Structure 1
Amino acid sequence: MSSLNNIISKILKDAKDKNENIVSTANAEKDIIISKKINSAKEIESEMAKKSQIEAKSRKERILSAAKLKVRDNKLGAKQGIIEDIFKTSIDKLCSSSKEDFKNFILNSVLSIKVDGDETLIVNEASMNIIDEAFIKELNEALKAKGINGDIKLSSQTREFNGGFILQKNGIEINNTYEALVDSLREELESEVAGVLFN
């Protein structure tokens, strides 16, 4: 659970850090786009005045409305891109944690989920240099201390993911990769992150 709280804290901190820059950039872009469209609308209004004041006004309103929609769509796209970057940055920060933090993450995660204790631990290629037989022994001893079968084995095969681990038994996997953990929190946190960034 503390690992999930750390992920949440990191995501929210990153969101706060980027807030002012995003809002000012979006507002500056909005002002430029609206200013250009207003100038364009004024020119069109002047031309159309000769033909029909009502038609010119209607067209100006449509142009302004379209400009506002374009600004809104641009802001939404920018916001979504920023949120995506924040979640990606969170995964990157987790991946750059120390070897000791990574081992503690695996140990605490395995001890906090329901396991039989005879699963296979799968890591990515970079983590094969961190997770050794001494750690597997420590993990199994911790499971035994909880009254669980302590026979977890390290897979000789690696998988392609950024960080974290997978536990596998009989074709069933418990996915504790950083990507899966952040994705599982994403729906819950996305509106909260957006609130911190853009309100």
Structure 2
Amino acid sequence: MSIENITAAIINDAKLVEETSVKNAEKTMEEIIGKAKIEAEEIMKQTAERCTKDAESLKSRKVSAAELQARKMILGAKQEAIQKSFDLALEKLRSMPEDKYLNYLTEEIIKISVNEGIIVLNQADRDKIGEKLIKAVNQRLNTQRYKLSDKTINTSGGFLLRSGNIEINNTFETLLNSIKDDLTSEVANALFN
């Protein structure tokens, strides 16, 4: 065999190896690209699913927060309406005609099982009906043991009765506060049902 034949055989073999290597490289490249595409699609799918879940979760949290805020606002409005109802009741007590108010206070003092005491009123009631009240109570009880205090209290109406170490608070605010807890649910039912 001549050198030319050997050279030609080497070149031929090299070309075959090259073609095979190129074909193998192209095949491997296509496999790698195919796998990369599949992995990329899977990543995109997972990312899309995660984004959808995150979006749904965020939406759910936002809706829950909005619902909670709405419930708080409704509760606040209901509480305000209930408070206005009690404020209106207080206003009705304050605007009682003088004769009815005097009679009311007299009856409330007589109901208390104390034989004597000092009656404390707000400044307006003291000036307007204080002496009349003491006179009415003492006449009804046939005694002279009730006196009008020189001091006044800061209240919209009603009285304090002091007898020794005992102090009975029968002011409008105290009366309304004492029944407020019991009546709040009834007032709420009347207003909102």
TM-score in terms of structure 1 length: 0.68
Q: Distance in 2 between matches of 1:113 and 1:166?
A: 12
CA positional deviation for 1:155: 0.9
* Post-superposition CA distance 1:2-47 (Å, at most 9, x none): xxxxxxxxxxxxxxxxxxxxxxxxxxxxxxxxxxxxxxxxxxxxxx
Query: Would the aligned equivalents of 2:160 and 2:170 in 1 still touch at CA under 8 Å?
Result: yes
Secondary structure in 2 matching 1:166: strand
Secondary structure in 2 matching 1:130: helix
Query: Would the aligned equivalents of 1:94 and 1:178 in 2 still touch at CA under 8 Å?
Result: yes
Q: Per the alignment, do residues 138 and 58 of structure 1 end up closer, same or farther by CA in structure 2, a change over 3 Å counting?
A: same
- Residue of structure 1 in register with 2:9 after alignment: none
How many pairs does the alignment contain?
Answer: 147
Secondary structure in 1 matching 2:175: helix
Q: Distance in 2 between matches of 1:106 and 1:136?
A: 10
- Residue of structure 1 in register with 2:112 after alignment: 113
- Residue of structure 1 in register with 2:178 after alignment: 184
Q: Distance in 1 between matches of 2:186 and 2:76?
A: 17
Relative contact order higher in (CA < 8 Å, ≥ 6 apart)? 1
Q: Distance in 2 between matches of 1:49 and 1:62?
A: 20
CA positional deviation for 1:108: 1.0
Alignment of 1:159-170 (within 5 A): 159-170=153-164
CA positional deviation for 1:156: 1.6
- Residue of structure 1 in register with 2:60 after alignment: 61
Query: Would the aligned equivalents of 1:124 and 1:165 in 2 still touch at CA under 8 Å?
Result: yes
* Post-superposition CA distance 1:25-84 (Å, at most 9, x none): xxxxxxxxxxxxxxxxxxxxxxx9796222212221111111100000111112112212
* Post-superposition CA distance 1:105-130 (Å, at most 9, x none): 111111222122x2001100010232
Greater C-alpha Rg: 2
Query: Would the aligned equivalents of 2:114 and 2:163 in 1 still touch at CA under 8 Å?
Result: no
- Residue of structure 1 in register with 2:150 after alignment: 156
- Residue of structure 2 in register with 1:124 after alignment: 122
Secondary structure in 2 matching 1:162: coil
- Residue of structure 2 in register with 1:28 after alignment: none
Q: Distance in 2 between matches of 1:87 and 1:57?
A: 45
Alignment of 1:11-160 (within 5 A): 52-116=51-115, 118-144=116-142, 149-160=143-154
Q: Distance in 1 between matches of 2:58 and 2:140?
A: 73
Stretches of structure 2 that go unaligned for 5 or more consecutive residues are 1-46
Letter in 2 for 1:109: E
Q: Distance in 1 between matches of 2:71 and 2:48?
A: 29
TM-score in terms of structure 2 length: 0.70
- Residue of structure 2 in register with 1:37 after alignment: none
What's the C-alpha RMSD, in Å, of the aligned pairs? 1.9
Stretches of structure 1 that go unaligned for 5 or more consecutive residues are 1-47
Secondary structure in 1 matching 2:151: coil
My pick for the range that moved more, 127-136 or 56-65, is 127-136
